Amino acid sequence: MKTINSAKWLAVLGAFFVLAGCASMGSGTVAEKRQAIADMQDNALARLYREKPDTRSQLRDAAGYAVFSNANINVIFVSAGTGYGMVNNNLTGQKTYMNMAEGGVGLGLGAKDYRLVMVFHSEQAMSYFINNGWTAGGNADATARASNKGGSVEGEGYLGNVTVYTMTESGLALQATVKGTKFWKDKHLN
């Protein structure tokens, strides 16, 4: 019994490190990494506006918003993920580059690459997020998507004065988890 549990944890740990490599910014100059994040953000927002046109005014009128790229894996009862992105302060124009990591428990199997768009409805919510970064929530989704083919059904619930949208880019997953996510400032890009 103990060997099986150890094998499961080793598989999850190995998958997490593979995901960390997938979601990392890789090599390049600070300017190149910032540009890669800006390009990812532009692509994610274009898709969000296409799928939910009312979000354009919601983001414009908000105190700020964030866009993250995340890779996630779920193995039986444990899920883990890692990613990167940027918070945009609509009041000052400041951009804060951040990283993220998540872990959760629940039932599921699979892996996915997705984008996370967070809309901060108050300056206080945005400031708290940038400086503290913890988010707790639940996630349930079904994904079978490669590029523009396939589909996904997603649902997210988060605490605080923040609206969250998720959009799956690719993956094959069926999962229902309770998770915690840590976001923190990227000390190399800020």
Structural contact between residues 43 and 37, judged by C-beta atoms closer than 8 angstroms: no
Q: What is the mean pLDDT of residues 110-133?
A: 89
DSSP state of 165: E
Give the containing element (helix H, strand E) for 12. Answer: helix 2-23
Contacts of 157 (CB under 8 A, 6+ apart): 137, 138
Measured distance CA(74)–CA(80) in Å, rounded: 7
Regarding predicted confidence, which is higher, 78 or 22? 78
Distance between CA atoms of residues 72 and 22, nearest Å: 10
pTM to 2 decimal places: 0.74
Confidence tier at 146 by pLDDT (50, 70, 90): very low
Q: CB under 8 Å to 189, separation ≥6 — which residues?
A: 30, 33, 34, 37, 97
Least confident of 28-42, 50-64, 91-105, 127-141: 127-141
DSSP letter for each residue of 92-108 = T--EEEEEEEEEEEEEE
pLDDT of 137? 60
Instruction: Give the mean pLDDT of the chain.
Output: 77
Three-state DSSP state, 162 = strand
Residue 10: what pLDDT?
A: 44
The DSSP bridge partners found for residue 16 are none
